[in-house]
Amino acid sequence: MAPGSALGEALQPQGYRQRWPPAVASEDAYYDGHNRQGMKVPMQHWDKYLENESLEETRQDTPRAQAMIGSCANQMWELSKSARYCRLVQRALELASEAQQVALVSELRGRIIEATMDPYANHVVQRAIELMRPMAIPFVLSELLEHKRGIPDLARHRYGCRVLERIIEHFPLRDLEALVDKMLHDAKNLIGHPFGNFVMQHLLEHGAEHHKRHLVSVLSVTDEELKLACGHQYAASVLDKALSYCPAEQQRDLASRVLRIPGALTEMARQRGGFAATQRLFKVVSSDHDRLRDAKRQLTAASAELLQSKHGRALLAQVYPELLDPSVTSLPGLPSP
């Protein structure tokens, strides 16, 4: 048997001596015996499954699944904070019935903020949000809203941003107005933040129309602000989502504004963060001959620089492959030299 972790030893029942393989006819009988007697299978037992990455082999409604769920009960917080056992907790939640899920996750009540900002427990909170109906875990949202430093602080947090993304994906928008309003008040800072920008992207993908309008207005309040966003590593990714998920007319208007601002498109094309946004802009204007021609002209002017980098060549291969073809002497839609 693989040696158990210190946490596994600390969490196993006092005075319990593990025997494995057990002196029973089958593995199912071993689990059945523990389940019938209300005994926890010691944490060390699960180490071999974690080390072999074979937790996924466990199926629902089997004695092993019930034993796994039982092992997590009444120690969810300690296990969720463990680099090793947080994976066991997530698998237990996947195998549990809704009633069992509620019982397990309720053990984290009062600790949601701490769990959200923990490098391991945040994964458990995320999985619970993905698996459970929002009405089964309303305390998760209410505790996030009570964070003393505010929702924008969570959006700027390395792990907090991930939990907010799952909330935006899985909770009804009608329940999120207070949470979203708090983020939109700080949208300008979040758009350009290494972690906050991901939450803003999620709002553009999953938010209501008025959320999207607000974010576009923040991105493009002035031509100068929009040009800065085009050339910003993180804000350009938010711009990409605006060009992808806003209503079609708003996408076209935003693309047209980028093309009208001198240097905005080339700023976006030059940096890696603008790769997807540049591709998307070309898709948005693909049916508009004049705007497509203008976009190609602007990239042609910057082609010498773009061709010097792997990133630039890859971008041109996607949006304007003619520039890479030495046999093409006159580019379509552009005036002859």
Residue 333: what pLDDT?
46
Q: What is the pLDDT of residues 309-336, one digit of tens each?
A: 888 888 998 888 887 776 654 554 444 4
Q: How far is CA 12 from CA 47, 245, 305, in A?
A: 12, 50, 62
Number of residues that make up the chain: 337
Residues 145 and 186 sit within 8 Å (Cβ to Cβ): no
Mean pLDDT to the nearest integer, 111-119: 98
pLDDT reading at 193 higher than 60: yes
Closest CA to 134 of 97, 96, 167, 92: 167
Two tokens, residue 217: 């207005």
Residue 101: what pLDDT?
98
Residues 192 and 235 sit within 8 Å (Cβ to Cβ): yes
d(CA 66, CA 298): 62
220 CB-near residues (< 8 Å, 6+ apart): 226, 229, 254, 257
Domain boundaries, the chain: 222-324
Q: How far is CA 201 from CA 24, 60, 273, in A?
A: 54, 35, 13
Residue 84: what pLDDT?
93
Q: What percent of the chain has pLDDT over 90?
A: 69
User: Between helices 160-170 and 177-184, what is the axis angle to 10°?
Assistant: 130
Task: Write down the pTM of the prediction.
Answer: 0.86
Which of 11-15, 31-35, 96-100, 203-207 is predicted with the least confidence, judged by mean pLDDT?
A: 11-15
Residue 5: what pLDDT?
55
Residue 337: what pLDDT?
43
Q: What is the overall mean pLDDT for the chain?
A: 89
Residue 330: what pLDDT?
55
Q: What is the pLDDT of residues 65-105, one digit of tens each?
A: 999 999 999 999 999 999 999 999 999 999 999 999 999 99
124 CB-near residues (< 8 Å, 6+ apart): 76, 80, 86, 89, 90, 93, 108, 115
d(CA 315, CA 212): 27
d(CA 127, CA 115): 12
Q: What is the pLDDT of residues 228-266, one digit of tens each?
A: 999 999 999 999 999 999 999 999 999 999 999 999 999
What's the per-residue H, E or C state across 310-337? Answer: HHHHHHHHHHCHHHHCCCCCCCCCCCCC
